[in-house]
Structure 1
Amino acid sequence: MKLNVREFSSSSEGFRDELDALLAWDSVSDAGVQHAVAGIVEQVRLKGDEAVIEFTNKFDRRQVVESSELEISRDELALAKERVSPELVDNLEAAAQRVNDYHERQKQSSWQYQEDSGTVLGQKVTPLDRVGVYVPGGKAAYPSSVLMNVMPAKVAGVKEIIMVVPTPDGVVNDIVLAAAYIAGVDRVFTIGGAQAVAALAYGTQSIPKVDKIVGPGNIFVATAKKMVFGVVGIDMIAGPSEILVVCDGKTDPDWIAMDLFSQAEHDEDAQSILVSPDLAFIKEVKSAMERLVDTQSRKDIIKVSLENRGALIHVKDMDDAMDIANIVAAEHLELSIDEPEKWVEKIRHAGAIFMGRHTPEAVGDYCAGPNHVLPTSGTARFSSPLGVYDFQKRSSLIYCSPEGASDLAKIAAPLARGESLEAHAMSAEYRILKDA
């Protein structure tokens, strides 16, 4: 199949403008979506279960009468696990263990230190009480999304995890439910869309209010998450999936082609970019892509994705490639090169970095261990992968001894008066020791 993938050279005039145009992504929903989501969120806030049932029946083509019909018990999750093939269960459990082991190393502990005056300063780290996890549902199966969103919350010590998953036409996916059981989800509700986000944010008669909502979803889910932010915490507003592959020309072109396909097959808006200093290799990869695309079950999606947002970029050298990688700040960055540990030092912006020729992004999606919930659309410049730290909060600790309070007050009071806050100054000065 002929693929009209854009080809650029970093040496050409106007390259940076072309790159910026390629990377541009407006993740903000239009006015119609905003209006629709605002109405759903408000109805759920005001009417609770009644609105959730109404919207679930409307959008998921269900016939729910009582709110109790929306919940799947732990016993039902266990039965779903029994219906899944033993081999797949083993793989889910192996992946869950690897994700758990990686995230165990992210746990933060409380700390404190004491000054000579006796003043104690520190930080208390506490897990969130309750978290909501949104998982796409219906005929689509995303058990990996369950593991990646739930396991770090469990490691962090979150007391209760509520999962919501839509079941259009009443279709329940046993693999997703099995993953929920293995990951240790406490309660599961078969709801989705903006109504599920609103129910988690505000709580209803049967669905508990959570402290934070994580997990992927469509534009209605993303818009709802953005709308309720502040009432609850959220993980991020994610854009389309993306991959940037930097290759020195020594990896099998078929491997690189398939790595690019691995993101392009997500949806038509996904982005796959190859950067290489070897122009002949770029042409080999393009030939491999055109030869292999017809072997893919999602070839039509891959073709649209690659032609709309994909690119093959020829660069001067590897330093130039690293500069472009930092401009792109990709969700997934593959360094399919010699000595990746040397070049990774030059990378400042990336969601996840896959080092070496034998490290495809696909293993990160499922079982390597690090989280696959990653910043997209250039937000890796200031954001990080989902992790244990997203499910913990930090409180400052301050204890003043009499001597310490007196010393600090002599600093604080003049600063407070400099801001015309007399009560602040006097509050501090009351603690000054008279003989100090």
Structure 2
Amino acid sequence: MDERLIESLVAAVRAAPDDLPLRLHLAGLLVEADRGGEAVEHVATALAKDPTSAQARELMARAMGGPAGDTAGDTAGDTGGGTPGDTPEDPTSDPTGGSTDPTDAAPRADTTAFDWHAAESDLGEAVGPMFVDGSTEDPGPAAYDVEAAGVRLADVGGLTEVKKRLEASFLAPLRNPELRALYGKSLRGGLLLYGPPGCGKTFLAKAVAGELGASFLHVSLADVLDMYIGQSERNVKELFEVARTSAPCVLFLDELDAIGGKRSLNRSSGARTTVNQLLTELDGVGSDNEGVFVLAATNHPWDVDPALRRPGRLDRTLLVLPPDREAREAVLRTHLRDRPVERIDTKRLAKATEGFSGADLAHLCESASEIALMDSVGTGKVRMIGMADFDQALSEVRPSIGPWVETARNVALYANASGEYDDLAKWLRKRR
């Protein structure tokens, strides 16, 4: 068999995939060349387009190892002694092909009795269904991505007091199913993290998910708000449905003051109804939130709608402060781990960066690296990052939490009648 002819026909079929006579002609040549597996694919494609084709059915029987039978109407029989210029017979022509051999009719009975269910099983997924009703369509990618947490509280530098409070008020009851059953503790809960920006509230929420062995769903303002009426509420509902189907899951609502701001201050009816929908989902109305742990973070808890913080919703609040000296040293070491440094005194740097947030410390390391890089470019000699670079960076980088502290001080002094910001007031007094 001329392999060049087969390759030419393969190219021709690829160029004209709907030319069934050409495809069957190729299949016949493949059968003659003992390449039945390849022939099956072409014949199956032809049968999907024309299930009544006797020529295709006979070729399938031969390709699957059935009796050779009658070659009349089979393109392989035409090309056995023909030339490349031969054209396949029309499948509607005389099925005997003009042959007078009385044995021609016998194999046709075998073809009729061919076990198509067995053939489809042998083919596996090579051939798709001929028709679909839309119920098996690919749903496409998920609207919201649920991720594995990948970190634990041990990965969070410092914040010893925060970890202790998390363990006592949130994690310990959920880690002990026997005690939880004894005391009737539900496998659900809400926790609000608040504090100055850049202090690791998101990282801490992910670490809580890691401690619980739960998946993590991060929700931001862009995931919720929509310009069309009613779509924001549907987004909130869908987010909670994704969390429920992924339980155990930590649903993390970032910048809660933007998503669930006080309804009394919202002039937009859309914003108010979005908060209403969030309240409904937190209460589990119509659905069970068992196994869904709702964590939220905000820099301005005083701007969050009070209804979101009532018992049964985000009923526990935790203040996340700028890193202490131990935590600052750990953060500095983390950001310098993959940089070329020498003789860096992280203890001295930690002492000199009192009041820096985690983001400020990252910016300090970036600035020191930039100073060393620009010096290397200017001198043409690559050098390590040293303490002199950090001293220069410290003269330029300042803590970024000052404006937040001033706002928080006013809240602690004049809006703390209920005592909910006592921890904040205590920290502000120490900070003086």
Greater relative contact order (CA < 8 Å, ≥ 6 in sequence):
1
Structure with bigger helix share is 2
**TM class by shorter-chain length?**
under 0.3
Structure with bigger strand share is 1
Normalised TM-score (structure 2): 0.27
